Amino acid sequence: MYLVDTNVWLESILDQERAEEARSFMRQVEGHLLAITEFSIYSVGV
């Protein structure tokens, strides 16, 4: 299981400099192995 930091999600969502790298990571790992904390969910929402 991978605990994915807020910055990785935001990099992809906001199409920032390393967005493709973040998306590539998320494509390579099965979805059920990606985790996010409740704090990160709130941070992305802000």
Per 3-state DSSP, the chain is made up of helix, strand and coil in percentages (nearest 5) of 65, 10, 30
Residue 25's contacts (CB-CB under 8 Å, 6 or more residues apart) are 8
pLDDT below 50 — which residues of the chain? none
Place of tokens 């991978």: 2
Q: Cα separation of 20 and 9, whole Å?
A: 11
Are 6 and 38 in contact, with CB atoms under 8 Å apart?
no
**C-beta neighbour count of 39 within 10 angstroms:** 9
Output the pLDDT for position 46. 82
Output the pLDDT for position 42. 94
